[in-house]
Amino acid sequence: MTRSARRAPVARRLEHVALELFATQGFDETTVDELASAGGVGRRTFFRYFPTKLDVVLGELDEGLAALVVALATQPGADPVAAARAAFLAVNRYADGELPALRRRLGLIEDVPELAARATVRYRDWESALAGDAARRWDVDAGSLRAQVFGRAVVASMRAVFSAWHARPEADAAALGGLVDEAFDLLARGFSAR
């Protein structure tokens, strides 16, 4: 199942029009009223789906985290690198039609300082989830340096993957998966062996 297929239809529509408006008008220049109107809903309905304008762009990070936690839990074995690789590949399946919205979202997160700052806060939860999973597989405390370094290194690597993919306008969904694999190959050299 692709990422957008898991989202509620109204939320998907609001995200789609928001990303279009942000691309044409700019993030700061676009109001919530304009987003609600373009999405065919009232202001109150908009806020039912997204607490803030920032959440239209960043909400997928929360859903992605929930999917990642589920995917990690289904991965067997004692190797957190292999588990995280499989989980990231599973939760980052995009249909070709979803790629333009993904590119807009990534561009906004990289270019709008407020979005970049808020995304960084949300990435902490990703780091914690990965550290907790690694700690369980290694049978160490989740607060241990090894687990914490692992969680932060994986998230930093995936952020680099998405930045590298975004910088290549011709890159498709397969190229994104290839970059994920390449990053985990690099991580495996440092984390798989004791």
Is the C-alpha dihedral spanning 45, 7, 53, 128 positive or negative?
positive
Do residues 43 and 33 touch, judged by C-beta distance below 8 A?
yes
Q: Print the domain residue range for 184.
A: 57-191
Question: Do the domain assignments include residue 16?
Answer: no
Question: Do the domain assignments include residue 37?
Answer: no
Question: Do the domain assignments include residue 144?
Answer: yes
Question: Do the domain assignments include residue 80?
Answer: yes
Question: At a CB cut-off of 8 Å and minimum separation 6, what does 140 contact?
Answer: 146, 147
Do residues 71 and 86 touch, judged by C-beta distance below 8 A?
yes
Question: Do the domain assignments include residue 47?
Answer: no
Structure tokens at 20: 């279009």
Number of domains in the chain: 1
Strand segments, DSSP code E, in the chain are none
Provide the pLDDT for residue 7: 54
Name the nearest CA neighbour of 130 among 109, 155, 108, 112. 155
Provide the pLDDT for residue 6: 47
Q: What are the C-alpha distances in Å from 27 to residues 21, 113, 114, 185, 186?
A: 8, 11, 10, 36, 35
Question: Do the domain assignments include residue 36?
Answer: no
Question: Do the domain assignments include residue 109?
Answer: yes
pTM: 0.87
The CATH code of the domain that includes 184 is 1.10.357.10
Provide the pLDDT for residue 189: 86
pLDDT tens digit sequence for 24-49:
999 999 999 999 999 999 999 999 99
